[in-house]
Amino acid sequence: MTLKISISGIRGIAGQSLTDEVVRNFANAFAEYTDKGKIVIGSDTRLSGEHVKSIVISELCARGCQVIDIGIAPTPTTQIAVRNNKADGGIIITASHNPPEWNGLKFVRQDGIFLNETQAKELISIYEDIQKTAKTPKEETLIGSLCKKDPTALDKHIELVKSSIDVTAIRNKGFKVAIDCCNGAGSVITQKFLKELGCEIIAINTDTKKIPPRGSEPIPQNLSHLCEVVKKFNADIGFAQDPDADRLSIVSDEGVAIGEEYSLALAAMFILSRDRSAGKKVLVTNLSTSRINEDIASGFGAKVIRTKVGEVNVSEKIKETGAVIGGEGNGGIIWPVVGLGRDSIAGIGLILTMLAASGKKLSLIVSGMPKYSMIKDKVELSVSSDPNKILSSIEKLYASEKINKTDGIKIDFSDGWLHIRSSNTEPIIRIIAEGLDIKVTQNRIEEVKRAVRSL
Domain check: are 33 and 169 in the same one? no
**Which helix (H) or strand (E) is 250 found in, with range?**
strand 248-251
In this structure, the answer to whether residues 388 and 337 fall within a common structural domain is no
| Same domain as 319, residue 212 | yes
The CB density around residue 11, as the number of other CB atoms within 10 Å, is 23
Q: Which of 342, 367, 392 is the last residue of a domain?
A: 367
Domain boundary among 136, 151, 166: 151
Q: Verify that 163 and 144 share a domain, yes or no.
A: no
Give yes or no: residues 306 and 173 share one domain: yes
- Burial of 72 from C-beta contacts in 10 A (0-12 / 13-18 / 19+): buried
151, 186, 210 — which closes off a domain? 151
pLDDT at 304: 97
Which residue segment(s) compose the domain that 427 sits in?
373-453
Query: Does 232 share its domain with 168?
Result: yes
Residue ranges for the chain with pLDDT beneath 50: 138-139
pLDDT given at position 79: 98
Angle between helices 344-358 and 186-196 (to 10 degrees): 30
Q: In 3-state terms, what secondary structure has residue 66? A: strand
- Rounded Cα gap, residues 35 and 16, in angstroms: 30
Q: What digits encode the pLDDT tens for the residues 32-82?
A: 999 999 999 999 999 999 999 999 999 999 999 999 999 999 999 999 999
Q: Looking at the structure, do residues 144 and 168 belong to the same domain, yes or no?
A: no
Looking at residue 199, its pLDDT comes to 98
The reported pLDDT for the residue numbered 426 is: 72
State how far the Cα of 206 lies from the Cα of 204, in Å rounded to an integer. 6
The predicted pLDDT at position 86 comes to: 97
Looking at the structure of the chain, the number of domains it has is 3
Q: Are residues 244 and 311 in the same domain?
A: yes
Residues 186 and 27: their CA atoms lie apart, in Å, by 25
Catalytic residues: 96
- Residue (of 209, 348, 325) closest to 271 by Cα position: 325
211 in helix, strand or coil? coil
CA distance 91 to 423: 24
Per-residue pLDDT reduced to its tens digit, 220-264: 999 999 999 999 999 999 999 999 999 999 999 999 999 999 999
Same domain, 114 and 213: no
Does residue 377 sit in the same domain as residue 350? no
Q: Using alpha carbons only, what angle is made at residue 104 by residues 98 and 108, rounded to the nearest 5 degrees?
A: 115
Residues 186 and 296 in one domain: yes
State the CATH number of the domain containing residue 112.
3.40.120.10
Angstrom distance (rounded) from CA 202 to CA 237: 10
The phi and psi torsions of 182 (rounded to 5 degrees) equal 60, 30
| Spatial distance between the Cα atoms of 14 and 103, rounded to a whole number of angstroms | 6
pTM (two decimals): 0.94
- Looking at residue 136, what is its pLDDT? 57
Length of the chain as a residue count: 455
196 & 302 share domain: yes
